[in-house]
Amino acid sequence: MQKCENCNAQFSWSKIYKSFWWMYKPIECESCGVRHEITIFGRFTFVILTILPMLIFMYFLTLFNNVFVTIGAGSLILIVGSFFTPFVIQYEKAS
C-alpha cells in the first residue's frame, strides 16, 4: 500500500480508492499535510485492472445471450478489479 514520501505514513485503502474515483483527486497526508498525485503509470494501471478486463469480457468472452446479463457481469468485473487497485496504484509527491 502507498505511503507518504515525506513521513512514511501509510494511506488508508479507502482514501486511495476514493481518490481515483473522483477524477484522480490528490491525496493529502493526514500526518504531515503533503499532497500526493497519482502517476501516469498509476493511471494506466487503474485502466488495466478495471476497464480493460471489462471490455475484453463484454466484447470477446461473453457467454450470455442476454445484453443485460452481459452488462451486469462486465460491471461486476469492473468493480472487483477496482478493489485491487489501491494496492498497486502509485502516487508521488505533488510539485
For residue 76, what pLDDT is reported?
93
What gap in Å lies between CA 12 and CA 70, rounded to an integer?
A: 33
pLDDT at 27: 92
Q: What is the pLDDT of residue 95?
A: 78
- Per-residue model confidence as pLDDT tens for the chain (95 residues): 888 988 999 999 999 998 888 788 899 999 998 999 999 999 899 899 999 999 998 888 877 788 888 889 889 999 999 999 999 988 999 87
Q: What are phi and psi of 38, to 5 degrees?
A: -70, 140
DSSP characters over 13-29: HHHHHHHHHSSSPPEE-
The predicted pLDDT at position 41 comes to 93
Question: What pLDDT sits at residue 52?
Answer: 92
> Cβ of 27: how many Cβ atoms within 10 Å?
22
